[in-house]
């Protein structure tokens, strides 16, 4: 988690795949669904799509690891994530507004609203196993993890 942001335009032919903190934690901890997230990364490397994650969701992963495993492990995970084909998208006003609108009408965490807002704004598919997103199935595409 070097803090570096890659801001390239996603080609209209390249579908964006969105990853929330839950999806990344599934991969890092090799939980059920790990293979599905790994396949997402492999196809991103093959340039079939981009994998996007908001800086808010990146921070969510970082604080979870820091809180549960300490600073040394958080630094290790930061390096691991930095090598993955994830483009971290910083929050701007349009993304914050979309997340706020979702939060106003759905019972879900504000951090999750940023992942959903990114999927909505990029017409992308969100990969998650977090059941909080159930209420958004009609608004965004969801690739459910077990």
Q: How far apart are CA 84 and CA 1, in angstroms?
A: 10
CATH 2.60.40.10 corresponds to the domain 16-144: no
Q: How far apart are CA 138 and CA 142, in angstroms?
A: 9
Q: How far apart are CA 96 and CA 133, in angstroms?
A: 18
Q: Which stretch of DSSP H or E encloses residue 138? A: none
Q: Where are the domains of the chain?
A: 16-144
Quick check: pTM over 0.85? Answer: yes
Contacts of 134 (CB under 8 A, 6+ apart): none
pLDDT 10s digits, 51-98: 999 999 999 999 999 999 999 999 999 999 999 999 999 999 999 999
pLDDT at residue 11 greater than cutoff 80: no
């Amino acid at each position: 988690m070097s803090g570096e942001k890659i801001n390239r335009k996603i080609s209209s032919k390249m579908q964006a795949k969105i990853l929330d903190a839950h999806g990344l934690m599934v991969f890092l901890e090799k939980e059920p669904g790990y293979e599905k997230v790994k396949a997402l990364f492999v196809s991103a490397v093959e340039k079939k799509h981009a994998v996007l994650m908001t800086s808010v969701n990146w921070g969510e992963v970082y604080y979870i690891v820091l809180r549960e495993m300490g600073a040394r492990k958080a630094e290790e995970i930061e390096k691991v994530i930095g090598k993955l084909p994830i483009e971290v998208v910083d929050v701007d006003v349009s993304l914050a507004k979309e997340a706020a609108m979702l939060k106003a009408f759905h019972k879900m965490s504000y951090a999750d609203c940023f992942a959903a807002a990114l999927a909505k704004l990029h017409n992308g598919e969100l990969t998650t196993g977090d059941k909080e997103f159930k209420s958004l199935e009609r608004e965004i595409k969801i690739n459910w993890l077990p």
